[in-house]
Amino acid sequence: LPGLSAPVTVSRDSHGIPLIEAASAADAYVALGFVHAQDRLWQMEVMRRVGAGRLSEVVGARAIDIDRLMRTLGPHRLAEESLSDLEPETRAALDSYAAGVNAFLATHRGALPPEFILLDLKPEPWRPADSIVWGKLMAMQLSVDWREELLRARLAERLGTDAVEELWPADDAPRRASLAPPQMNHAWRLPEILDDVLGKGASNAWAVAPTRTATGRPILATDPHLGAQLPSQWYLARIRAPGLDLGGATAPGVPFLIIGHNGALGWAFTSSQADVEDLVAERTAPGDPTHYTGAGGERRAFATRTETIRVKAAAPIEMVVRASQNGPIVSDELKAKDRLEDAGTVLALAAPYLRAPDRSPDALRRMNAAASVAALEAALERFDALQQFVTYAHANGAIGFVAPGALPVRRTGDGYWPANGTLGPAWTGRVPHAQLPRSADPAQGFIVNANSRPESSAIFLARTWEEPYRLARAREILAAQRRHTPEDSAALQADTLSLAARDILAVALPMAGAPGDKLQATALDALKAWDGTMAADKVEPLVYTAWMRALARRLFEDELGADFPAYWSTHPRVLIATLAGAGRWCDDARTSATEACAAQVQGALSDAVADLKRLHGADPSRWRWGKAHTVALKHTVFGRIPILSTLWGKSLELGGDSWTLLRAGTRFSADATAPFRAYHVASLRMIVDVGGFADSRFLIPTGQSGHPLSPHFLDLAERWRDFAYLRLPQEAGARALRLVPAP
């Protein structure tokens, strides 16, 4: 291969997981690029095309909305610009990786993966900026702040700010005064297809100190929760080279290990849920799309650029992208944008992944080589992307976490409502790395991160947080264990006890009243005896979830109207407060009567049982949570085509829900024929025996290959469902590929 300085051996185990052994780090990056391209070329192609806003070129007009938003945000353009901010060693690693991908493209014989054939597409050479795009897309996926701001501002115009603040109650964290939302007089929303691209993310991670483990070594575990997809977001690999001893999860398209261990320590990323995206309302003059109002009434010109989107089997589309001093004008891509601009307002997006410098690739490269906690901390100072929690454990016994990333210092407000652009730049800086939340070697001997507010933080991070049920459950179990083992961590990752269900039913069951018929009586009796375990083989989780789905509809659909599907979930804190008498939501605004909460609870039970009878039959002994709560692993593009979806996909029954450690979140509004389907699942499971790294365990939900005809396309799916963990290869196997330098 071109780009190699010495031979590299790539051997694979029976699951297709590679062990790369190279004489230099540069050669290891070349080899990783080569094997990523072997196994995940189509996934890499889709990733860079999404980031560049070039998906319509290959799939046609259905991707125009995605391309328009990505051209507006410009992640690929920003990736190109960020190359000059990177350290020479990082740039060299990106170059080596690109050389490996391109070596595969140059030397591959035979047909490319079937997606390329079906779409008549020849891949372009891989470029270093293509690798950087991955981090920007992941940052977009992991943050929902601006989308929730959009929804809250829209609802506030109709319901008022007090009502909205009941729907998104504030945490008791350190905070700043919130501003009232600017009056914008519009009815805009994101195109629905963008949910498939942007998604959302969450995660669990814990580190247990050696004083509390059976081995006397730290244990680190994580399971990042992302949207279910085929192939998986992650590619398992073992890499050995001078200065590199890596094992864990790589991301196709990226030369660095993202989550895993390096022979000295292990680390995991979880979403911090810090609010680092802000919509900024910029004032414009009617009929003048070229200027906006800055501080002190200053008339400022928008920065503009023209983008051309090529569309397969259609004429190209030209669009003008505008940006203010706060960021790109995203309202140009919202439905009913003209109504918004006629009112003299446009919306800019401020986000760290849209700003320079972004030295996050430097941070990843340095993390991969970090031999000490101090080196890990130093590496994370260059992490400029969306703020994350990094939980770590070192072979010397140290455990801890740090929350690196760009946390904005706001001129005014707290990010709950869109900011006022007439005051000037919405952000005046970022919080120094030394002030970001962290903890090291806590007295209790363990650390848990589950997207909840860190107790150690004295600075403002966000106004709303993930409800802390997963956090509480993990802490409860870990506090009761004195000799924690990797098997115990596996049991935690498989735990389906819902503390949220217990809390909600403690309020709802006393209000249920007398059942309306025998089927309702059977359902109520089951729930009264239930311990809250969301096991796949049980009926109670199905009855409970159907009841909460129906109750949420009765409480909120009347006021929220067309925006209700975007809010439709369990929301335990809001639900409990409403049933306890706080808020206005029990009365149905569509009727002249005044409905009480008890009547809505009882009506919702009747609705739920009717739904279950319609979907699953009249015999409750045949109702099972797992039968209704399935995850569909669908191909990224062809999963929407019925025949190909069946051939190139798999459906698995799951336990758990959004509030259990085995997280398998549903979107109630997504599919009326399958309203309990799981969309948000563990994209990776990892348990690291820190210091005994060879005994570390891993799982991904699909297989190593992205090729639909490969035996490793979906061969890990049942193992993932059953928690049958794998260990990474430690020695070269019988199947080996030898890569040698080009003459």
**Residue 170: what pLDDT?**
80
Task: Locate the domains of the chain by residue range.
Answer: 145-198+278-350, 499-532+539-623
466 falls in which pLDDT band (50, 70, 90)? Answer: confident
More confident residue, 4 or 466: 4
Look up residue 699 and give its two tokens. 């799982």
- The secondary element (H helix, E strand) that includes residue 373 is helix 373-380
Average pLDDT score over residue span 226-238:
96
456 falls in which pLDDT band (50, 70, 90)? Answer: low
CA distance 202 to 611: 30
The alpha carbon of residue 303 and the mean position of all alpha carbons in its chain are separated, in whole angstroms, by 31
Q: Is pLDDT at 69 greater than 80 in this prediction?
A: yes
CA distance 356 to 485: 43
What are the start-end ranges of the H helices in 143-193?
Answer: 145-159, 161-167
Which range, of 27-31, 126-130, 636-640, averages the lowest pLDDT?
636-640
Q: Helix, strand, or coil here: 472?
A: helix
Could you list the beta-strand ranges (E) of 417-539: 419-420, 427-430, 438-440, 446-449
Percent of the chain with pLDDT over 90: 80
The alpha carbon of residue 277 and the mean position of all alpha carbons in its chain are separated, in whole angstroms, by 15
Q: With contact defined as beta carbons under 8 Å apart, do 99 and 2 qualify?
A: yes
Would you call 590 exposed, middle or buried from its count of C-beta atoms within 10 A (0-12, 13-18, 19+)? exposed
Q: 474 phi and psi, to 5 degrees?
A: -65, -45
CA distance 479 to 472: 10
**Residue 348: what pLDDT?**
95
Nearest to 714 by CA among 698, 697, 700: 700
Could you list the beta-strand ranges (E) of 286-425: 288-293, 299-301, 303-309, 317-324, 327-328, 345-350, 388-394, 399-402, 408-410, 419-420
Q: Could you say which DSSP state residue 401 is in?
A: E
Strand order in the sheet with 257-261: 438-440, 399-402, 388-394, 265-271, 257-261, 244-250, 235-241, 18-21, 8-12, 736-739
pLDDT one-digit tens code per residue, 176-216: 555 555 555 444 555 554 555 555 667 999 999 999 999 99
pLDDT one-digit tens code per residue, 598-623: 999 999 999 999 999 999 999 999 99
Would you call 109 exposed, middle or buried from its count of C-beta atoms within 10 A (0-12, 13-18, 19+)? exposed
Its sign, for the CA torsion 615, 620, 622, 625, is positive
The alpha carbon of residue 487 and the mean position of all alpha carbons in its chain are separated, in whole angstroms, by 26
**Residue 189: what pLDDT?**
54
174 falls in which pLDDT band (50, 70, 90)? Answer: very low
Q: Which residue type sits at 347?
A: L
CA distance 295 to 426: 11
464 falls in which pLDDT band (50, 70, 90)? Answer: confident
Average pLDDT score over residue span 146-175:
84
Q: Return mean pLDDT, the chain.
A: 92
**Residue 187: what pLDDT?**
44
CATH architecture of the domain covering 145-198+278-350: Roll (2.30)
Average pLDDT score over residue span 44-51:
96
Q: 633 phi and psi, to 5 degrees?
A: -85, 105
Q: With contact defined as beta carbons under 8 Å apart, do 19 and 730 qualify?
A: yes
Its sign, for the CA torsion 86, 90, 93, 97, is negative
Average pLDDT score over residue span 657-674:
90
Q: Which residue type sits at 253?
A: G
